[in-house]
Chains A and B, each alone.
Chain A
Amino acid sequence: MDQLFTTYLGDLLAGLWMTVRLTAVAFAGSLVLGTVVAAFRVSPVAPLRALGRFYVELFVNIPLISLLVVVTFGLPDVGVTFDLFTCAAISMVLLGAAFTCEAIRSGVNAVPVGQVEAGRAVGLDFFGVLRHVLFPQAFRSVVQPIVNVFIGILLSSSLAGVIGVKDLTLQVSEINNKAALGLTTYLLAAFAYIVIALLAGGLGSRLEQRLKVLR
């Protein structure tokens, strides 16, 4: 226990910071790319729709570990070498965007058809309907699914250790390879993940409430 706080606390905190950074970057990227893919999936251009569908089918079903290895050790052969953090973030964004797209789509489909038809009836075009009718309403029903995506990304960040990114889980594992500290470090790490997830959930609920009032 003493050893934990004198020797390894720094490693543990560094791991936590890495997890937070990785999750934040991957989540932000997923939101952006996921929105683009969602727009593809409802677009009038057939190949874009097909591409969007293909994208989601591919990245919803691919295990992150194999993607991490392919991005980290495959991309250098295509001529681009990113550092390991970026490789992990890219892989996580590719997967996270697929789930974000699905979350957005479920939100879009939760808006009654009549709303869109009314928007079309007053002369709004595709983008007009998206911007003025659909997204503002879809946003509210999307909050909870997006929170789930955030938690999914948080949990998936633990796999970044496979390519040597020292996130919280890898740090805990390495600390325990050096010293037998029982369950303490594991439980501390688990607690940290739970707190982050609960914070995200709480923030999501508050956002949902505020949007409700606005509507």
Chain B
Amino acid sequence: MSTQDSLFDVAGPRARRRIRIATLVSLLVIAAVAALVVLRFAQAGQLAADRWAEFTQGPYLLFLLAGLGNTAVAAAASAVLALPLGLLLALGRLSKGGILRRVCTVWIECFRSVPLLLVVYIFVSGLPQYGINPDIFWKLVIPITLCSSAVMAEIFRAGITALPSGQAEAGLSIGLSGGQVTRAIVLPQAIRIVVPSMVAQLVVLVKDTTLGYAVSYPELMKTSNNLTAYTNHLIQTYLIIAAVYVVTNVLISHFARWLESRFSGRSARLGRSAVGAGIG
């Protein structure tokens, strides 16, 4: 039973009536607002069938689907690169070595606090001035990797520090070395703790790939950009695309929650914003 569940009792008859009224009123208000928005939209001609027609036609859907595929590729590549990098950074930040620890701390704090778009711009028009000019795909994936590795490092660190210190102490007391303790005792447990948060972090990665528009990598946001250049149906396209992203990300979050329920033994849950809020 969590704290928020014990905030109110099972309602009595009077409270039930009040709740019923409040329910009805709130439902009416919600419905009225929704209806008003839809009505005004219809009056503005935005709901006319021809403005949505392209989303019922195979070729256009395939075009957007290809964009979604590229989104998946970019997000997956970023995840594959950022995960190990994040783990190494976390271990570095928790290490005893003075310089390594400082370097990792500075790295994490910097990339946690710099907007991804700025890093993308550095790769698009800053670094090429010095002859560093990777492929478009990498101009998106490397910045995402740099920024999200810092966040993932903090998730790993939170997972490791969430372990009772007795675990590591027990390992040391039976004669294991520091490295052995990390490998055999700390990491296996810490990783179990952070798996759900890591999967949830995929949602942030998917949203990060929307910056593909800035490097012209044809992921979903860029392809929809493309589609609007063709149809001029700005609002319709962006609404549909937003819905696609939401559905994709909700599926990922549900997967994360399912994992959490499987892994939950003693797992301390790291909340959604425990480490970083992936607004963007």
Contacts and interface: CB of A to CB of B under 8 A. Distances in A.
Interface of A: 41-42, 44-48, 51, 57-58, 60-67, 69-70, 73-74, 77-79, 92, 95-96, 99, 102-103, 105-106, 108-113, 115-117, 120, 126, 129-130, 134, 145, 148-149, 151-159, 161, 169, 172-173, 176-177, 180, 182-183, 186, 189-190, 193-194, 196-198
Contacts of A109: 2-4
A186 B110 CA distance: 13
B249 A61 contact: yes
Contact of B242 (A44, A48, A51, A66): A66
B273 A172 contact: no
Interface residues of B, number: 65
B30 interface: yes
B62 interface: no
B280 interface: yes
Contact of B117 (A67, A69, A130, A161): A161
B272 A197 contact: no
Contacts of A134: 3, 7
Interface in B208-260: 210-211, 213, 221, 234-235, 238-239, 241-242, 245-246, 249-250, 253
Interface string B34-54: 001100110010100000000
B279 A145 contact: no
A106 B273 contact: yes
Contacts of A57: 246, 250, 253
21 contacts: A45-B26, A61-B250, A62-B246, A67-B242, A77-B41, A77-B46, A106-B273, A110-B3, A120-B9, A130-B7, A134-B7, A148-B273, A148-B277, A149-B273, A149-B279, A153-B277, A158-B117, A183-B129, A186-B121, A193-B114, A198-B113
B207 interface: yes
B275 interface: yes
Closest 4 CB pairs of A and B: A152-B277, A197-B113, A158-B115, A106-B271
Interface string B1-27: 111101111010001000100110011
B213 A186 contact: no
A126 B241 CA distance: 40
A114 to B, nearest CB: 9
A180 B275 CA distance: 36
B112 interface: yes
Contact of A151 (B110, B112, B122): B112
